[in-house]
Amino acid sequence: MSESGLPAVRQRFLEWLLLPPGHRVPSTVKEWAAENDVCSDTPARWKKDARFVREWDRRCAELNVNPERVQAVVDALWLKAADGDVKAASLYLQYTERFVPQQKVQVGRDVSSLSDAELVAELEDKVVELRAIDGGLAGA
């Protein structure tokens, strides 16, 4: 038994299943079964076994949220976007949007309702605030 609780042959089958289809050797379930001395119908039965399915789901989830895999997809998306693919650009921007801090603008009063004197007073207050910030409008 492996640490997953699956017999070794089932664990090997699971490892094989987790590979991308183009990287599986042998390439078919039937060939895998023959190579591992199990009946060709056995892997299909394993795929229906609740314990096997739980471990398969757990491992897939672990694999799919792997930072290296996610980064590889983001990198591929960026390359296509930089090459002019509009859909890729849209998806890339959607992905990166979650890392940009959101800014909220709060308006206490509609600016158009301010008189010229009130508007000047508001602007002067803001200039004073900005000058107080290190590196702000020091020379303004």
* Pair 74, 92: CB distance under 8 Å: yes
Q: Is residue 131 part of a domain?
A: no
Q: For the chain, which ranges sit under pLDDT 70?
A: 1-4, 105-109, 134-140
Other beta carbons within 10 Å of 139: 5
DSSP state of 21: G
Is the domain of 27 the same as that of 39? yes
Residue 139 domain-assigned?
no
Domain residues for the domain of 14 are 8-64
- What residue type is 24 in one-letter code? R
- pLDDT number for residue 139: 53
Q: Which two tokens stand for residue 131?
A: 């000058």
> 15 and 31 share a domain?
yes
Closest CA to 17 of 67, 62, 59, 66: 59
- Is residue 126 in a domain? no
Instruction: Give CA separation, 111 vs 48, 107, 118, in Å.
Output: 66, 8, 9
Whether 120 maps to a domain, the answer reads: no
Residue 1: what residue type?
Answer: M
pLDDT in tens, 11-23: 999 999 999 889 9
Q: Are residues 51 and 72 in the same domain?
A: no
- What is the model's pLDDT at position 57? 93
Sign for the pseudo-dihedral over CA of 85, 91, 94, 99: negative
78-101 pLDDT per residue, tens? 999 999 999 999 999 888 888 777
pTM above 0.85, yes or no: no
Residues 42 and 89 in one domain: no
pLDDT value at residue 2: 58
- Number of folded domains that form the chain: 2
Q: Are residues 12 and 58 in the same domain?
A: yes
